[in-house]
Amino acid sequence: MSKIKVAVAGVGNCASALIQGVEYYKGVEDGANIPGLMHVDFGGYSIEDIEFVAAFEVNREKIGKDLSEAIFTDPNTCSRFADVPKLGVTVSPGPILDGVASYMRSPFKVYGKDRFRDVDVAGVLRDSGAEILINYLPVGSYNATRHYARAALEAGCAFINCIPEFIASDEVWSRRFEEKGLPIAGDDIKSQLGATILHRTLVKLCIDRGVFIDETYQLNIGGNTDFQNMTSEDRLKTKRISKTEAVTSLASYFMPTRIGPSDYVPFLNDKKVCYIYLKGRKFGDLPVKLTVKLEVEDSPNSAGVVIDVIRAVKLALDRGVAGPLISISSYAFKHPPIQVPDSEARMWVEDFISGKRSR
Ligand SMILES: NC(=O)c1ccc[n+]([C@@H]2O[C@H](COP(=O)([O-])OP(=O)(O)OC[C@H]3O[C@@H](n4cnc5c(N)ncnc54)[C@H](O)[C@@H]3O)[C@@H](O)[C@H]2O)c1
């Protein structure tokens, strides 16, 4: 199979986990059980078929470095679980736009215009031969996400939107990709075993067992820059919508629900702690209460899922499938064009891989 040429916008913790993950599992044989991947061989593509060819950042200490070094540069705190050899990809200065909140200029070490000039993103994508651009910008990057999405369209790249900006799930944007003959998957990546999937599972369990849910919340804390960036409610609107709809879409009635990032606790670094609470009524209108605490390494939690998404998008490129990829988006993202229970979405992806479903 041919290589899958991938570019990343934002070389933060998630990019670090993804790039390390690809290195960590290089050479794994088909049939091996890799925790967090649907398949080692995904429609004929293995993990080592993924090749990183371009990267964009605003951190002056990451720009100009080889991508293999930039992923371990401060303020990234993702665990180091793989040695990554030089990749031969120099990190480019991306346009800053609204990617950086005023209070994040210092933690993100944003470059000064006297030191770097932002590149023409579409030009760099074209020159690098990238086929897919992954969006890993901070939450709240409304204009910056659209700038990178437009550059992907201009350069003829598919787009994977890992953040809660509505692109794949927006009809106008997804049509733009369809018209250009390019696939798009999104929005807002789900983790392998994260707060969203766990909360969805608990809600589905209650619904399947006839428990009426009276109220539920999901509080999340963490110590990485993703959490630091999310301390301002201004940047959180779409994150709350994305995370809340992922849970409430499973119920056919109104459930008082509060979900979102709740605090930044610096010493947690890349560890995320999530508390889920649910109160309901069962037979005889008698109460049932459930409280769950989940602790995970945050960034690597979605890296395997993204590796599957990359390969699904590449299959779509090979097959000439354009526009929103319904099956992989429903399976792997919190705010897809169509919400279905996770077990159904997984079957859709299997059908997409085998060719029974077109998208
Ligand atoms: N951890 C997960 O599993 C998970 C799940 C769902 C969504 N996400 C989302 O993925 C995104 C990335 O997460 P992360 O943990 O890597 O965050 P991060 O803070 O570690 O990385 C974001 C990076 O983007 C860079 N950046 C800011 N503006 C930019 C611009 N205009 N152009 C290029 N780079 C820019 C920053 O310097 C930083 O390095 C976040 O929006 C996060 O909410 C992550």
Q: Mind listing the pLDDT tens digit for each residue in 185-221? A: 999 999 999 999 999 999 999 999 999 999 999 999 9
Alpha-carbon gap, residue 168 to 305, rounded angstroms? 17
Tokens representing residue 197 in the block: 């999937």
Q: What pLDDT is attached to residue 30? A: 80
Q: Is the CB of residue 177 below 6 angstroms from any atom belonging to ligand 1?
A: no
Q: pLDDT tens digits, residue range 72-130?
A: 999 999 999 999 999 999 999 999 999 999 999 999 999 998 999 999 999 999 999 99
Alpha-carbon gap, residue 321 to 359, rounded angstroms? 7
Nearest CA to ligand 1 atom 9: 163
pTM for the model stands at 0.96
Atom of ligand 1 nearest to the CA of 229: 19
- What's the average model confidence in pLDDT over 324-342? 96
Q: What CATH code is assigned to 4-190+300-354?
A: 3.40.50.720
CATH architecture of 195-297: 2-Layer Sandwich (3.30)
Distance in Å, CA 49 to ligand 1 centroid: 24
Distance in Å, CA 292 to ligand 1 centroid: 27
Residue 166: closest CA among 139, 133, 132: 139
Q: What pLDDT is attached to residue 32? A: 86
Examine the pLDDT at 1 and tell me if it is beyond 80.
no
Domain assignments of the chain as residue spans, ordered by start: 4-190+300-354, 195-297
Burial of 113 from C-beta contacts in 10 A (0-12 / 13-18 / 19+): exposed
Q: What pLDDT is attached to residue 207? A: 96
